Structure 1
Amino acid sequence: MIYHYLSKKLLLTLWIIATPESFRSVADRFGLSKCVTWKIFKEVVWVLKRIMPRFIRWSNDVECVESERIFRMRSRGFPGVVGAIDGCHIPIKQPPGNANDYYNRKEFHSIILQGVCDHTGKFIDCLIGRPGRAHDAAVFRSSNIYGRLIDEANPLLPSQRHIIGDSAYPLLKNVMTPFRDNGNLTPEKSMYNTTLSSIRSIIERAYGLLKGKWRRLKYLDVKSIDMANHIIAAACTLHNFLILHNEIAIRENVNIDININIEHEDYNSDENDNDFQNENGQMKRQEIANRLLQLKRQEIANRLL
């Protein structure tokens, strides 16, 4: 009897996160009152949020080696990539009090989910809760992962490894971003940008899969920002749980909708944090660009032999 009741509570919560169905309709479906349904939902979401660190954690060395190998293979030569970073807007109901902070440049209220995913689309780091008005670069600088990446005494990644992001992010030794396209890119820079973009799309697909599976995230109709954050955390936990248990595979979901309110490179030049470039990052990026062009030329030469 207890097992049956616990299963019912979990199934009810999964149903709510996976559908845009109203709480009244879900309550009728499960034979409960609306008040009890809401209470159960809050309880289970809180538990899923609490266990989030068990399922969303930074890759260990073995996992990093595997990610590097897969990203290099998919990109035909881009070295050292262990993950891709981007920010995603989760639409919310206008919050009371400081609604202006959550009103983003796309003219709706939102909470920002910053995620880093590996080659499988599994999140290896998440920051949830920054208001939608914030710029991706500002969100990144406020995150724990940024502090760990620039910590010279105990760096998160060795010098040869990095995550990749779009031009909203700062170029660092362990964060590779595109070259600014001023219409006069050299061949190696153009190839670098194209290659980086091709493998960076994994984070967009991860967000598409997240919102496609857990459709409640397409609009969170809750008054409490804390509750909205808990629902997002619960969905991210479930996303990783399914990937870890081989229940979903991002490479097999070819129809993923990636029109999911990701912050793209439509910033004014004075807002683009890539202006604040790290010298080590610049040298490393140029070396990678040169290497990619060399590999491409070698590939062409081999075909002609």
Structure 2
Amino acid sequence: MTRESHRRVVRTERMHTYETYWTIKHPNLNDDCKSSHSYRAHYRVKKSTFEWLVNRLSRCAAYLGSVLRGGYSVEVQVVCVLWRFANTHFGHRIAETHLGVTAGLFNNFTNRFIDAMLEITPEIITWPIEDRERAFNNARAIDGKLVVIQKPAINGNPYVDRKSHASMNFMAIRGDLTRLMYVKTGHSGRNHDARVFTSSVIYHKILFDAARWCPANTYILGDLGYPLLPNLIVPFNGRRESTAEENIFNATFSSSRIKIKNACGVLTSRWSFLWKPLYMLSVDRMAKTIVSCCGLHNVCVNQNDIEEAILDGSFDCEGFVEVDRRNRFENEVNFEPPLPFHGTDATIDAAGMRRIKAMSILKRNNIRRGTDRHT
């Protein structure tokens, strides 16, 4: 629900008095992508995508309770959150002025939307097994990105990266049409991309069960920051004595892998909430917000709601993608949605994740004790 302001001048004897009144503008929005009064201009999605999102989220448990209690409709709640994610940062005061909702309702709408998106994430972010991704033009690609966040008040120094920004590492594996097949976030910006990858569930899946997760000799393309595995290809190290064959391979490899950077660029350009510093107090909420935006990205791809610059290949991700490769420290929050296998299998190696978490806690405690001794 978007509202437009109009000013009416009331003449008095001494001065002009301005009275502001608001008109509901949402029912008059059209589906013309080039118009300023369209769904795309206000919410970054088409009308069909918006309707699908409202119908699907209305069946989630988070919204069922809200509707039964006689609260705001699902449509209004989704509109407020999409408006917030589509703009760089939509403050509580501006939300109360434009949308007519208080700060408490604005936060409740956001939390409810995030919970509902995480509920349907296994249906949206899936790992396909079709035998169709063999050539470099359609190969899967992996990359990391730093999302600048608000520095946590407690233990916030481990989140400061080499650029002196508090950030959270976000890893994604892209399929075809910029569709995200797997996402992982929660690690601090000081973590190396390889560390984030080796601590993920997909690393153990493709290493010990490659026949199922990478069938028909399919491969994942990564940069030099990732380890070389049977199903993970990295380019040749750029050195002066490189052969002509290696240079040709690297050129073809780079032109194919750039699509994952385009996917990250589309994600942050459509949902500008991730472009600027993510102002949230809870680190867990930050990680869930990133995954929710990834789910929205896949919803748009599934509904054929793709930016025109992506369709004609003129999109430039310069300035959106920012990767860090020199970080070492562990992170306290490690958010990773279940790995759906065609949307049905969501098995996770719980014992392995517990061991990784225990080792992270031990290492972090050793670092703190060592720091205390020196000080």
Normalised by the size of structure 2, how large is the TM-score?
0.64
1:236 lines up with 2:294 in the alignment: yes
Q: Paired residue for 2:305?
A: 247
Shift of residue 261, structure 1, vs aligned partner: 4.1
Count matched residues: 255
Q: 1:101 to 1:155 in 2, by over 3 A?
A: farther
Unaligned runs of 5+ in 1: 73-80, 269-305
Q: Which protein is bigger by CA-based radius of gyration?
A: 2
Q: What is the rounded CA distance, in whole Å, between the counterparts of 1:215 and 1:184 in structure 2?
A: 43
SS of alignment partner, residue 51 of structure 1: helix
Shift of residue 121, structure 1, vs aligned partner: 0.6
Identity of aligned residues (%): 28
SS of alignment partner, residue 150 of structure 1: helix
> What one-letter code is carried by the residue in structure 2 that aligns with 1:251?
L
1:144 lines up with 2:210 in the alignment: no
Q: What is the rounded CA distance, in whole Å, between the counterparts of 2:242 and 2:191 in structure 1?
A: 30
Q: 1:267 to 1:3 in 2, by over 3 A?
A: closer
Aligned mate of 1:105, from 162, 165, 179: 162
> What one-letter code is carried by the residue in structure 2 that aligns with 1:52?
T
Query: Taking CA–CA contacts closer than 8 Å with sequence separation of 6 or more, which of the two structures ends up with the larger relative contact order?
Result: 1
Q: Paired residue for 2:101?
A: 32
Aligned mate of 2:143, from 86, 94, 102: 86
Shift of residue 90, structure 1, vs aligned partner: 0.7
- Give the structure with the larger helix fraction: 1
Q: What is the rounded CA distance, in whole Å, between the counterparts of 1:86 and 1:230 in structure 2?
A: 19
Shift of residue 4, structure 1, vs aligned partner: 7.3
Q: What is the rounded CA distance, in whole Å, between the counterparts of 1:198 and 1:97 in structure 2?
A: 42
Shift of residue 21, structure 1, vs aligned partner: 2.0
1:13 lines up with 2:81 in the alignment: yes
Q: Paired residue for 2:232?
A: 175
Q: Paired residue for 2:110?
A: 41
Shift of residue 107, structure 1, vs aligned partner: 1.8
Q: 1:3 to 1:200 in 2, by over 3 A?
A: farther
Q: What is the rounded CA distance, in whole Å, between the counterparts of 1:194 and 1:259 in structure 2?
A: 22
Superposed, 1:121-140 pairs within 5 Å as 121-140=178-197
Normalised by the size of structure 1, how large is the TM-score?
0.78
Shift of residue 29, structure 1, vs aligned partner: 1.2
Superposed, 1:186-201 pairs within 5 Å as 186-201=243-258
Contact 1:83 1:164 in 2 (8 A): yes
Q: Paired residue for 1:257?
A: 317
Q: Mean Cα displacement is larger for which, 151-160 or 216-225?
A: 151-160
Shift of residue 259, structure 1, vs aligned partner: 2.0
SS of alignment partner, residue 185 of structure 1: coil
Shift of residue 34, structure 1, vs aligned partner: 1.3
Q: Paired residue for 2:129?
A: 60
> What one-letter code is carried by the residue in structure 1 that aligns with 2:306?
I
Contact 1:165 1:200 in 2 (8 A): yes
SS of alignment partner, residue 248 of structure 1: coil
